[in-house]
Amino acid sequence: MKNNEFAAEPFRIKMVEPIKLISREEREQKIKEAYYNIFNLKAEDIYIDLLTDSGTSAMSNKQWSAIMMGDESYAGARSFFRLKEAVEGILGFKYVIPTHQGRAAENYLFRVLIKPGNIIPFNMPFDTTGSHVADKGGTAIECVADVAYDPKAEVPFKGNIDLNKLEALINKEGVEKIPFIMFTITNNTGGGQPVSMANLKAVKEMADQKQIPVFIDAARCVENAYFIQQYEEGYQNKSVAEIVKEQFTYANGCTMSAKKDPLVNIGGFIGLNDEELYRKVLPHLILNEGFATYGGLAGRDLEALAQGLYEMVDDDYIASRVRQVQYLGKQLDEIGVDIVKPVGGSGVYVDAHAFLPHLPLSQFPADALAGALYVEAGVRGSGLGTLAFAKTGKEPGEVIYPKMELYRLAVPRRVYTDRHMEVVAEGFRQLIKKRDKVRGLKLTYEPPLLRHFLARMEPV
């Protein structure tokens, strides 16, 4: 597509799913009934759903037909070997452990690798990833470069690890306390920002010297590769497929939520080259998910995933996917909405605190914005701020706020048209005129873990 001035989406639509915009009065009622938590809304009450790009992709004709080829044998199914071949061919890992989704991959790998008291350096962990580290008694530490916390800094590769921070952390804690280092590519929590190949390579070199393995949270490894192709010196003439594969040469293994770049509605895996580690993880898999050749998936899911892995590295596809996200970002920018720049691969991240400056962080601006945009335009995005990431401090009542208060509009893959993106932008154009009327939120119910999924709130 790079050389094609007439480049449109490299697919045409053969099946449609109707959506409907309910009235503003109904939307006001629905958000109230949902306790002002957008996770509690019914999907049918949403017009354009940008809650997540996870598990929301449209599958291709080839994926749907691959589903019919699913081998549902308990052990040694043909579909498993098709997945194994795809993972080895595209990511370069010899051993694959299928799981029902990404967090299960994290769970079983971390059970084997993390001991209580361990420290895991990340660029930034995703929320389930950080929670799985904590669940095993470890602590995830952010080592992303400081620029990642500045939404306005328009520099490429804001997902990079700061090598000085990493080295200082290793020296302070000691190699024996650090079972591995992990990269999230792209860095979802930090605004979907990519990691450069140079940074992957440099971290691997440092890790090798200290004999610490490196793992990649690979959910958006193709979007990451696309940014490398576009912005990193020396990669312009390489295919995304080549770049994807090179990324993993700087890692000992990966966890994959296949619900993102691999274009399936459910699935995940662990990819490894170390047979001993593979064998250590398997009993945990078998106890919790299922046998080694299916994990938590049906044979048909393995088939759709294998096919999705081949499709995700198509240069034209990934270019059109990222272009659509950037199209939404450009429109919001033109309206004057503060967004994280540059626009990342999977969605547009709005600086919710800058959008609603009259709301203190204690009133959850990102989630207040989520409710307000739903009422305004029937659009659902998600809050990634205080509600999701605030921590309790050591002093009584002390709250440690996250460094950014973001509201994410994640764009599902191959699902919406540019017109949908224009309607989302129109919602912001209307909301911005009355944003000072948006009310903050307070909690009426708070679960002990991952509270943003289950919290109940009401306007302050």
Ligand X SMILES: Cc1ncc(COP(=O)(O)O)c(C=O)c1O
Catalytic choice (260, 341, 353, 420): 260
Of residues 102 and 402, the one with the C-beta less far from ligand X: 102
Burial class (CB in 10 A: 0-12, 13-18, 19+), 427: buried
In this structure, the number of other CB atoms found within 10 A of the CB of residue 430 comes to 13
Catalytic choice (71, 217, 351, 367): 217
The one segment of 10-18, 101-109, 311-319, 449-457 that binds ligand X by CB under 6 A: 101-109
Pairwise CA distance, residues 296 & 427, whole Å: 39
Of residues 204 and 408, the one with the C-beta less far from ligand X: 408
Catalytic residue check, 227? no
In this structure, the number of other CB atoms found within 10 A of the CB of residue 184 comes to 26
Of residues 66 and 182, the one with the C-beta less far from ligand X: 182
The one segment of 31-39, 126-134, 246-254, 327-335 that binds ligand X by CB under 6 A: 126-134
Site string for ligand X, 33-72 (x = CB under 6 A): ---------------------x------------------
Which residue in this structure is represented by tokens 């973001």?
Answer: 406
Catalytic residue check, 127? yes
Of residues 103 and 403, the one with the C-beta less far from ligand X: 103
Q: Is residue 128 involved in binding ligand X (CB under 6 A)?
A: yes
The one segment of 23-31, 100-108, 276-284, 437-445 that binds ligand X by CB under 6 A: 100-108
For residues 164 and 203, is the Cβ–Cβ distance under 8 A? Answer: no
Pairwise CA distance, residues 205 & 389, whole Å: 31
Catalytic choice (127, 274, 316, 418): 127
> Bridge partners of 144?
161
Burial class (CB in 10 A: 0-12, 13-18, 19+), 216: buried
Half-sphere CA count of 309, side-chain side, radius 13 A: 25
Shortest distance (Å) from residue 217 CB to ligand X? 5
Catalytic choice (145, 219, 258, 425): 219
Residues 169-228 that bind ligand X (CB under 6 A): 184, 188, 217, 219
13 three-state secondary structure: coil
Catalytic residue check, 219? yes
Residues in the chain: 460
Shortest distance (Å) from residue 345 CB to ligand X? 11
Site string for ligand X, 229-268 (x = CB under 6 A): ----------------------------x-x--------x
Shortest distance (Å) from residue 1 CB to ligand X? 26
Of residues 408 and 420, the one with the C-beta less far from ligand X: 408
Catalytic choice (74, 94, 152, 453): 74
Shortest distance (Å) from residue 432 CB to ligand X? 28
Catalytic residue check, 364? no
- Of 37, 79, 123, 129, which one interacts with ligand X (CB under 6 A)? 129
Catalytic residue check, 74? yes
Shortest distance (Å) from residue 267 CB to ligand X? 8
Which of 326, 408, 349 lies closest to 152, judged by CA? 349
* DSSP E strand stretches across 331-445: 347-351, 379-380, 382-384, 391-392, 399-400, 406-410, 441-445
Of residues 60 and 101, the one with the C-beta less far from ligand X: 101
The one segment of 99-107, 135-143, 400-408, 428-436 that binds ligand X by CB under 6 A: 99-107
DSSP code per residue over 172-191: HH-GGG---EEEESSBTTTT
Of residues 102 and 427, the one with the C-beta less far from ligand X: 102
Catalytic choice (66, 225, 452, 455): 452
For residues 321 and 414, is the Cβ–Cβ distance under 8 A? Answer: yes
What's the distance, CA 243 to chain centroid? 19
The C-alpha R_g of the chain, in whole angstroms, comes to 21
Site string for ligand X, 334-363 (x = CB under 6 A): ------------------------------
Pairwise CA distance, residues 250 & 334, whole Å: 39
The encoded tokens of residue 298 equal: 């049906």
Q: Which residues of 293-329 are buried (b: 16+ CB within 10 A; e: fewer)?
A: bbbbbbbbbbbbbbbbbbbbbbbbbbbbbbebbbbbb
Q: Is residue 288 involved in binding ligand X (CB under 6 A)?
A: no
Q: Is residue 99 involved in binding ligand X (CB under 6 A)?
A: no
Q: Count the residues of the shown chain that bind ligand X, applying the rule CB under 6 A.
A: 14
For CA atoms 83, 88, 92, 93, give the dihedral sign: positive
Which of 386, 119, 364 lies closest to 130, judged by CA? 119
Catalytic residue check, 367? no
- Of 47, 108, 110, 126, which one interacts with ligand X (CB under 6 A)? 126
Of residues 192 and 427, the one with the C-beta less far from ligand X: 192
**Binding positions for ligand X, rule: CB under 6 A:** 54, 101-103, 126, 128-129, 184, 188, 217, 219, 257, 259, 268
Task: Give catalytic residues, as residue numbers.
Answer: 74, 126-127, 217, 219, 260, 452
